[in-house]
């Protein structure tokens, strides 16, 4: 949040992800909910919602293999993508 406050023209996309457990629909909804919680937190802390967007990708963009517990854990995440500086 400090980074966003220090860079008031920055626009970001909040991106939610899941591991491969569960159905595609469930994972998509879960990832969207994860991203929305972060969006809500930031707006409640005073970050202008016009600077933020959010979306969920479900299990479509893994960063690790889903065959291990460590891989599954790493795939359950929220990432920030800078859209505009």
Residue 1 is predicted with a pLDDT of 78
Residue pointed to by tokens 């893994």: 62
- pLDDT tens figures, 66-76: 999 999 999 99
Sign of the dihedral through C-alpha 83, 11, 1, 20? negative
**82 DSSP β-pair partners:** 12
Q: What is the largest CA-CA distance in the chain?
A: 41
- pLDDT tens figures, 17-61: 999 999 999 999 999 999 999 999 999 999 999 999 999 999 999
Predicted TM-score (pTM) of this structure = 0.92
């Amino acid at each position: 949040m400090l980074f966003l406050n220090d860079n008031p023209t920055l626009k970001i996309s909040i991106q939610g992800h899941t591991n491969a457990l569960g159905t595609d629909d469930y994972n998509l909804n879960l990832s969207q909910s994860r991203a929305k919680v972060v969006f809500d937190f930031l707006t409640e802390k005073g970050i202008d919602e016009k600077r933020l967007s959010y979306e969920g990708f479900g299990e479509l963009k893994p960063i690790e293999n889903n065959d291990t517990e460590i891989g599954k854990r790493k795939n359950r995440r929220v990432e920030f993508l800078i859209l505009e500086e």
